[in-house]
Amino acid sequence: MQLINESKSKKTVNKKNLKAALTLATTALLGSVQVSATPTSVAAEEDTWSFDSAFLYYSEADRVSAAEAVFNAKKTYSDDSILNLKLTVDALTGASANGAVAQPDVQTFTRPSGKGDYEIKAGETPLDDTFHDTRVQLNAQWTQALAPNVTGSVGGHLSKEYDYLSLGINGNIAYDFNKKNSTISFGLSHFQDTFTPEGGLPKPFASMPLAYHDSDDESGHDATRMGSDDDKTTSDIMVGFTQVINRRMVTQFNYSYSVVDGYLTDPFKVLSLLNNQGLAQDYLYENRPDKRTKQSVFAQTKYHFDETILDVSYRYMWDDWEIKSHTVDTRFYIPLGNGSYLEPHLRFYQQGAAQFYQPFLMEDDATPEFASADYRIGEMTAYTVGLKYGMKLADGNDLSFRLEYYRQDPKSAGHKAPGALADMEIYQSIDAIIAQVSYSF
Amino acid sequence: MKKLREIKLAKRADGFCIQFDAMASQCEVIIETSDPALAKQLGEQVSTEVWRIEDKYSRYTSDSLCSQINQSQGKPIAIDDETFALLNFADTCYQLSDGVFDITSGVLRKVWCFDCSDNIPTALAIAKVMENVGWHKIKYDNRQMILPINMEIDFGGIGKEYAVDRAIVLINSVTEQPVLVNLGGDLATNSSRKNGQPWQVGVEHPGFVDKKTIVVSLFKGALATSGDAKRFLEKNGQRYSHILNAKTGWPIEHAPRSMTVSAPQCIQAGILATLAQMQGENAEQFLVEQGIKHWAIR
């Protein structure tokens, strides 16, 4: 009988996984009944704070680097209410593709401010190296039981960059039923963003003006601008369903509907205007629709083997810009004993291009209503391979390290490369390294 | 002697309380419901289940399965699935404690009598009894077990906690109303209370006359206590607790006089409290390292 085998295998059990061994033994003893794996919630005399901190470094080869520090404080009150406060500080530096295509000759671009310019060597993808920003983000979330089996949560969000301000609120309600084996949740959120880009907002398809210098006249630059700031709003509705299948398996399904309204164009991105030979005649600022409706479905399953945990999720996203994407994300938790663990991570992403995406404009064609050469809304595949190692320190605190490799391969969505472009690399891949250290206390 | 078995149903502000005696303890089931029929039904079902477990596993009842096993004279004796599962659990506890917890250690009572006296047995007497202690000497499978002659088993260390968990399983199959089952201080709940407030549980420390009862707030899960301040021996200023190390036959030194532990299930809480006591002066540290909530009295 299987229980005999189980009792034999316990001979190797050591004190390090005492809790796990006892949970297993209790499950066997109490029969087929669902044995709660969640810890007992006992209120101590005082309410408790717990803290998480993390430092993350992201670096793309020859492009953007980002450093991010996160500090999270969580207070659990004696009635199980939770206050969560999170501070995130990001610093970005480096170069970002400006949308123009590589050329057989040197190209000169005006900086977004209009003041000064930069040159790109022949055959290279044009990158704007003025890209640097610091962002401070604050999130606060309050969660509490509203009634037996009903949990409510409200939160606020503030994010400030040099040229960007984002304010948001959210609310979520969850109902547990079927002896807490099933949960339905419903969430709403709303964000209000204001963008004040350096150099103002360019007019759609305006030609990139020549740079001016300290003593020069700014009117050439100003003629291509339509204002200094604009805003956008984002409203999301999310419906979720979580089901405990058995004591080893839990699944989750989410559907979300999101409407973004307002200024959605990237004021720093241009498109090359090419002649028949594929040579750039001009650089025109991009233009995107001022509304985007996104929908996504998400499914996740966690399976607890005897010791390891497999976590697999899939997301399908589609929007009325005709971007469709698939994301598969897999993590595998392997305990090593003594509180330490390894967690390999694999993520695959595939995206179809927006309907108005095009890598360049042709001089002979009529100007479209909308166009963008931003690789981020073009066709691409990407994958991430990573490994996390976590350990429990002598004082009971958790320390973990994560190292990941990210690769993004933009692909042609069927646009023919004329003449001179045949030898140029239009769809340049991006390689990045992500390193993270986290500490919980 | 025929045991008097009856349950008492009392109305409370937020529901009903059912009281009965079992396993040498005062037992109660508190249910938050306005339905007296449901309360009565639950009280009857829970008390019946607890009495069933007592009748089957008490070593004090001469016709219990436990007594039959202890009188089997080294011959194979048939066991059912429930007993097999309990033996497996006891086996796990034996393995986890490296043999310090052992359900065959009850025979040590023949030499250790914790009556607060200075009656310390001789090393020779202990060594003689220890010949009949040792879980590893027992053979069992899912159909039968063989207990060597002169050996005994005793479910005292896990039986009451097991009864609490069985009661919760039973309650969950009947109702989703909040219920607390308390068998003489070993207790568990099926959910938090209707007002979202925790259950206020007084943790009694048997024998501590002047100790105030600790009030613990419990949202869900279980509590169990190990220790009894009345049961000890004292000689030459050395205090001997009634927690015996089944490996040596001697009491554990410097153990807290009482240890209360919380865990998802009562039987886990109970065994954790006992395993902690067996760490002696490191009892609290043992539980801290495991991240287990506990209350100790030294």
CB-CB contact of B203 with B222 (8 Å): no
Contacts of B275 in chain A (CB under 8 A): 18
CB A296 within 8 A of CB A315: yes
Residues with Cβ within 8 Å of A146's Cβ and at least 6 positions away in sequence, in order, are: A152, A173
Asked if the model's pLDDT at residue A13 lies above 50, the reply is: no
CA A204 to each of CA A208, A221, A370: distance values in angstroms, whole numbers, following the listed order:
11, 14, 9
Mean pLDDT in residue range A197-216: 86
Distance CA B235, CA A106 (A): 97
| A307 vs B162: which has the higher pLDDT | B162
**Least CB-CB distance to A42: which of B218, B268, B288?**
B218
Whether residue B288 lies inside any domain: the answer is: no
Asked whether A139 and A166 are in contact (CB, 8 A), the reply is: no
Taking only the tens place, the pLDDT of each residue in A137-150 is: 999 999 998 988 89
Indicate yes or no: CB of A30 within 8 angstroms of CB of B165.
yes
> Is B80 at the interface with chain A, CB within 8 A?
no
Contact by Cβ (8 Å): A288, A262: no
Q: What is the pLDDT of residue B228?
A: 66
Q: Which residue has the higher pLDDT, A184 or A213?
A: A184
In chain B, the number of structural domains is 1
CB atoms within 10 A of CB A414: 7
| Local structure of residue B137 (DSSP, 8 states) | G
Q: Which of B80, B96, B294 to mutate to test the interface with A (most CBs of A within 10 A)?
A: B96
Q: Which of A184-198, B232-246, B265-279 has the lowest mean pLDDT?
A: B232-246
The pLDDT value given to residue B213: 65
Residue B75 CB neighbours (<10 A): 10
CATH code of the domain containing B89: 1.10.3980.10
Choice between B200 and A6, residue whose per-residue pLDDT is larger: B200
Helix, coil or strand: residue B268: helix
Q: Does any CB of chain A come closer than 8 Å to the CB of residue B239?
A: no
Task: Average the pLDDT over each of B111-120, B209-218, B271-280 and give the range with the smallest value.
Answer: B209-218
Region B99-118: mean pLDDT is 82
Give ipTM to 2 decimals.
0.81
In chain B, which ranges are continuous DSSP H helix? 36-57, 65-70, 81-96, 123-130, 159-174, 266-277, 283-289
pLDDT of amino acid B233: 67
Q: Is B298 part of any domain?
A: no
What does the pLDDT look like over B16-40, one tens digit per residue? 999 999 988 889 999 998 888 899 9
Confidence at residue A20, expressed as pLDDT on a 0 to 100 scale: 78
CA distance A235 to A294: 10
Confidence of residue B12 (pLDDT cuts 50, 70, 90): confident
Q: Best residue in A12, A16, A29, A392 to probe B by mutation, most B CBs within 10 Å?
A: A29
Average pLDDT over residues A246-259: 91
Residue identified by tokens 């989410």 is A254
Average pLDDT, chain A: 87
* Model pTM score: 0.58
Kindly tell me if the per-residue pLDDT of B229 is higher than 70: no
Distances from the Cα of A32 to the Cαs of A35, A202, B46, in angstroms?
Answer: 8, 66, 19
Residue B80's domain comprises: 66-154
The pLDDT tens digits of the residues spanning A384-430 come to 999 999 998 877 788 999 999 999 999 887 788 888 888 888 888 99
Q: Are A73 and A79 in contact (CB under 8 A)?
A: no
Q: Is B96 helix (H, G, I), strand (E, B) or coil?
A: helix
Nearest to B88 among A3, A13, A78 (CB): A3
Q: Mean pLDDT, to the nearest integer, of B273-290?
A: 87
CA distance A126 to A103: 9
**Measured distance CA(A318)–CA(A324) in Å, rounded:** 4
Looking at this protein, which amino acid is placed at residue A101? V
Q: Identify whether B105 is part of a domain.
A: yes
Q: Is residue B161 part of a domain?
A: no
Asked if residue B278 is part of any domain, the answer here is no
Token pair 């250790």 is found at B112
A370: left (phi over 0), alpha (psi -120 to 50) or beta: beta
- Domains of chain A plus CATH, in order, are 139-440 (2.40.160)
**Cβ(A217)–Cβ(A117) below 8 Å:** no
- A356-360 own/partner pairs: CB under 8 Å, 24+ apart: A356/A288, A356/A289, A356/A321, A357/A413, A358/A271, A358/A415, A359/A101, A359/A412, A359/A415, A359/A426, A359/A427, A360/A100, A360/A101, A360/A271, A360/A272, A360/A273, A360/A274, A360/A415, A360/A421, A360/A426
pLDDT confidence band for A273 (50 / 70 / 90): very high
Output A57-60 pairs: Cβ under 8 A, ≥24 positions apart: A57/A433, A57/A434, A57/A435, A57/A436, A58/A432, A58/A433, A58/A434, A59/A432, A59/A433, A60/A94, A60/A430, A60/A431, A60/A432
Three-class SS state of B86: helix
| pLDDT, greater one: B239 or B209 | B239
pLDDT in tens, A84-139: 999 999 998 888 899 999 999 999 999 888 888 899 999 999 999 877 789 999 99
User: To the nearest whole percent, how much of chain B has pLDDT over 70?
Assistant: 90
Question: What residue in A sits closest to B86 (Cα-Cα)?
Answer: A29
- The answer to whether B291 faces chain A, any CB pair under 8 Å, is yes
B55 in helix, strand or coil? helix
Nearest neighbour of A40 by CB, restricted to B172, B194, B222: B222
For an interface test with A, give the residue of B95, B169, B216, B282 to mutate (most A CBs within 10 A): B95
Six-digit token string for B142: 């899912």
- More confident of the two residues A47 and A361: A361
- B231 band by pLDDT with thresholds 50, 70 and 90: low
8 Å CB contact of A10 and B89:
no
Residue B89 included in any domain = yes
In a domain, residue B126? The reply is yes
Residue B204 has pLDDT above 50, yes or no: yes
- Assess if residue B138 is contained within a domain: yes
Per CB-CB distance under 8 Å, the chain A contacts of B141 are: 1, 4
